[in-house]
Amino acid sequence: MKEMNMKMALHVFADKSYSSFIFCHKHLPVVLAHFIMQLDNLPAGLSAMPSVIKVRGIILNSFLKIVSCKIPTSPEAEKEFIHVLEDIDEAHAEAELVKTLSVGILELKDHLSRHRRALLELKESSPQWSRIKLNESDIMPYEELAGIQEPLDFCNRCIVRYNFMSRMLLNLGNDAKRVGMVDLEVNLERIVRGAVDEARQICTDHYGDCPDVEFTISTDTKKIRFPFMTTTIRYIVVELMKNAFRATVDAHMKRNSCGIVTCDDMPPVKILVHMKKGINHACIRVSDEGLGMTQKQQEMAMAYSFTTVDKPAISLTNEGHVEHTEAVSPLAGYGYGLPMSRVYANCFGGDLAIKSMEGFGTRAYYHIQL
């Protein structure tokens, strides 16, 4: 599927001569059909995992509801269609589709590693098996699941595209400054500062303090305005800031006499917001001095269910049940913050890139199509 064009979306949902109801009735089933086909063709047996089968069933049910709905050519049919979309939206939210797909990865990892785990248990049980060249880190390295990255990106693009189109329709109103989910005049600097404040509060709540933030605004105009979704920009910037704060605090953590973390002497997290007339993309750069990542960690930074925290937020028990780690850090742990941020960026014509210098720090570049 092609990336979503913001100008086309505004034309479809703002132009009264264009039926956004019929457009959604036609295109939403296509998106869901692509999603189902991709789920059926996920590699390495991922499509057979219980959580993935659960997602497939929910998406198939959504598909059938829409295609069974009358074409919305009358006010009554439009109301019925809206009711169907609201039911679907509620079902998708309850199922937490992105998180459930991530659980599917854990299930696959657990399934594929059973024989290695058995060999490791033999090795630990008797000296005669000591020659087995396995350790705990070899149970199922994330690199062996690298082939699922692109197919999962496609699945999540389907989720984002469906949510965007359906919620554009569900949120249509008479606001002159907004069309559906799209703000017609986004104030980029204000959004970034708001996202930073949110991430700063999360960091302070967890650690008791937060590193300083330095802002640089690079623009040739006082007004940074363009049509986009405030929620998308905010989600991505919060995610990048949480990562930068956690890396900085973990790398330079000091506690005062009361045992409380103090960030007074920590290097600041730096943010550059760049936007000028005539360019195709605005850019938000987040820089930290959190000692960076190893080459292996950088290669896996965008991998689903990969996290650098000691205790991931979700894991599987020996019986295969999903376990949520208690007192998990709100700054990290689920393993899909960065990959989903990149999917959001890509879906709307932008990009997200991570560059790290091991032993020094990391820079994240979020490009937004104007």
Q: Report how far residue 317's alpha carbon sits from residue 300's, in angstroms, rounded to the nearest whole number.
A: 24
pLDDT grade for 60, boundaries at 50, 70 and 90: very high
Q: What average pLDDT score do residues 133-153 get?
A: 71
Please choose, from the candidates 58, 55, 136, 138, the residue with its C-alpha nearest in 3D space to the C-alpha of residue 98.
Answer: 55
Which residue's structure tokens are 């990048």? 240
What whole-number distance in Å separates Cα of residue 149 and Cα of residue 341?
A: 14
As its CATH architecture, domain 6-104+135-171 has: Up-down Bundle (1.20)
Tokens 């990959």 map to which residue?
Answer: 339
Q: Say which range, 213-217, 321-325, 335-339, 340-344, has the weakest mean pLDDT.
A: 321-325
Give the start-to-end residue ranges of the domains of the chain: 6-104+135-171, 181-369
Which class would CATH give 181-369? alpha beta
What value does the mean pLDDT take over residues 115-124?
A: 75
Most confident listed range (54-63, 93-102, 252-261, 287-296)? 54-63
- pLDDT band, very low/low/confident/very high, at 276 (cuts 50, 70, 90): confident
pLDDT for residue 317: 57
Q: Measuring CA to CA, how many Å separate 367 from each of 25, 348, 353?
A: 31, 10, 9
Which tokens go with 62?
A: 């959504």
Mean pLDDT confidence for 346-361: 94
Check: pTM over 0.95? Answer yes or no.
no
Q: Residue 183: its pLDDT value, please?
A: 92
267: Cα separation from own chain's centroid: 27
Of 27-31, 207-211, 212-216, the least confident:
207-211
Number of neighbours of residue 182 by Cβ within 10 angstroms: 21
Euclidean distance between CA atoms 232 and 235, whole angstroms: 5
- Long-range contacts, stretch 33-37, CB < 8 angstroms, 24+ apart: 33/63, 34/1, 34/154, 34/158, 35/59, 35/155, 35/158, 35/159, 35/162, 36/60, 36/63
Least confident residue range of 19-28, 123-132, 174-183, 239-248:
123-132
**Of all helices (H) and strands (E), which one includes residue 97?**
helix 97-112
**Residue 232 · residue 168 · CB < 8 Å:** no
Neighbours of 282 (CB within 10 A): 23
Burial of 264 (0-12, 13-18, 19+ CB in 10 A): exposed
Instruction: Say which DSSP state 223 is in.
Output: -
Name the residue with higher pLDDT: 100 or 312.
100
Q: Which of 230, 204, 242, 362 minimizes the C-alpha distance to 298?
A: 362
75/154 Cα distance (integer angstroms):
35
Contacts of 42 (CB under 8 A, 6+ apart): 52, 148, 151, 152, 155
Q: Residue count of the chain, please give it.
A: 370
Predicted confidence at residue 222, as pLDDT, reads: 65
Q: In terms of C-beta density within 10 A (0-12 exposed, 13-18 middle, 19 or more buried), how is residue 351 classed?
A: middle
User: What's the mean pLDDT in 62-89?
Assistant: 96
Q: What is the pLDDT of residue 313?
A: 47
Q: Are the C-beta atoms of residues 245 and 199 closer than 8 Å to each other?
A: yes
